[in-house]
Amino acid sequence: MSSYIDTVHPERHAPYLDIPDDVVEYLHYLDFVKLRSPRTVNGYYLDLRGFFRFMMVQWNRATAEEPSEKIDLTQISSKDIAQITKRDIFAYLDYARSTSNGAKARARKLSALKGFFGYMCTQVNKLSQDPTETVSLGTIKKTLPKYLTESESYDLLNNIQSDFYERDFCIITLFLNCGMRLTELVSINLGDFRDDTIRIMGKGGKERLVYLNDACKQALERYTEARRSLPKLLDKEALFVSKRTGKRLTSRRVEQIVARCLQSAGLSERGFSPHKLRHTAATLMYQGGVDMLALKEILGHENVSTTQIYTHINQQQLREAVQASPLAHQKFIEPKPSGSDSDSEDGNSGSQNAE
């Protein structure tokens, strides 16, 4: 059974045939009523499938040694789901921790469970009680995003090695200058460009316009010229296509292209990825003086609080702020000589008893 949705062609996802009917109905609710993105719906599918596989073992209807894909979840009824307690939720979260799921992964799994049980209680009235209602994992410690410095970004652009150089140079250039997500880049069509802007389809189907700087426009011009000379072009609307097949590049293929470019630039051991290039674009723009609200619009963030993480990584700006003080260049002042010893270490007034 497929566990991945192609965000460009979401209709290619296999039917949800390996999960309880109630979960199938919930995923349809997310898709058609809440209008969640295919990637979001698929994430809920995976997390809920994992939870109910765990519950089948808890109910002794499967064994822990049994391959997970062999566990039949389709027989789980609404009555079974109604028996799930808060204790089961805690047990699952503890199991997730024991299987090396980090804090963010566990929070995502809990969010999927809260969404599902909330739906069962308030939307379809199949449950009278929500076992996740008061469950909380506490505040997740925020980590600073990884990003390339300006110098490393130039190293990356200057060391691209590829059998389709114009395409790969353009991909890296757009990542570093526009701060787009991987799924946004692969879904770009030729018709998305208007003058010096590009229309990007972001999370939740939200559109935004991003302006193209001179570097992006030149890279796109060179690439589209090379693209026109391809002998085979099957996806005529897609911007980024395979040189060999003429089909739209997949997210996985772009990840491989970025990894190869990072390797040729000597940056492959640092944990960088397409998403880290998005962080790089945001960081360099912020360091260049871009307003936080403008950066929020460029990145397609729902709330400015998400964007504010970049205020914590602008060390150069903090350094310059301190140096801007009028007292920043004050030299050390030598102490003036004094005829009294009133500041002696023992704190006495200076005179000893005269005897």
**Residues annotated as catalytic (active site), given as ranges:** 181, 203, 275, 278, 301, 310
Q: Among 199, 119, 160, which residue's Cα sits nearest to residue 277? A: 160
Integer Cα distance of 18 and 177 in angstroms: 42
Q: Which residue(s) pair with 211 in the sheet?
A: 197
Q: Are 172 and 160 in contact (CB under 8 A)?
A: yes
| Direct distance between the N- and C-terminal alpha carbons of the chain, in angstroms, rounded to an integer | 102
Structure tokens at 307: 């964007």
Integer Cα distance of 145 and 152 in angstroms: 16
Residues in contact with 71: Cβ distance below 8 Å, sequence separation at least 6, in sequence order: 53, 56, 57, 62
Integer Cα distance of 203 and 52 in angstroms: 27
In what side-by-side order are the strands of the sheet with 197-201?
193-194, 197-201, 207-211
Q: Are 188 and 212 in contact (CB under 8 A)?
A: no
Integer Cα distance of 223 and 122 in angstroms: 51
Integer Cα distance of 302 and 296 in angstroms: 8
Residues in the chain: 355
- Which amino acid belongs to residue 212? L
Instruction: Compute the C-alpha angle 245/193/164, nearest 5°.
Output: 30
Q: Among 92, 89, 88, 46, which residue's Cα sits nearest to residue 69? A: 46
The gap from C-alpha 37 to its chain's centroid, in whole angstroms, comes to 15
Could you please report the per-residue DSSP string of 184-235? HHHT-BGGGEETTEEEEE-GGG-EEEEE--HHHHHHHHHHHHHHHT-S--S-
